[in-house]
Amino acid sequence: MASSVRLANDLTLAQNPDGGWGYLPGKHSRVEPTAWIILGLSVHGDASLKVRDRGLDWLTKMQQADGSFRSAPDTGNSLWMTAPALLALQGSGRTQDASAATAAFHSVLKQKAQTPRLKMTGMRSDVEAWGWTTDAFSWIEPTCLSLMALHSYPREKLQSTSELDLRIKEGEIIVRARRCNDGGWNYGNFGNRDYALGAFPVPTALALIALQRDTGDPQIKQGWERLEQMRKTEPSMLSLGWGTIAAKALKRPSDPWENQLLAHIDKRVGATNLDRGLALLALNDQLPVFTFAPRL
Asked whether the predicted pLDDT for residue 70 surpasses 70, the reply is yes
What pLDDT score was predicted for residue 75? 75
Domain architecture of the chain: domains with CATH: 2-290 (1.50.10.20)
What pLDDT score was predicted for residue 120? 40
pLDDT, mean over the chain: 90
**Listed residue (134, 133, 132, 136) closest to 115, CA to CA:** 136
pTM: predicted TM-score of the whole model, two decimal places: 0.93
pLDDT mean over 255-271: 88
How does pLDDT run across 190-237, given as a tens digit for each residue? 665 555 688 999 999 999 999 999 878 899 999 999 999 999 998 999
What pLDDT score was predicted for residue 117? 53
Asked whether the predicted pLDDT for residue 119 surpasses 50, the reply is no
The CA–CA distances, whole Å, from 272 to 22, 36, 144, 240, 277 equal 9, 12, 22, 14, 9
Span of 87-91, 120-124, 220-224 with lowest mean pLDDT: 120-124
Cβ contact 203:143 at 8 Å: no
What pLDDT score was predicted for residue 169? 94
Asked whether the predicted pLDDT for residue 101 surpasses 50, the reply is yes
What pLDDT score was predicted for residue 263? 92
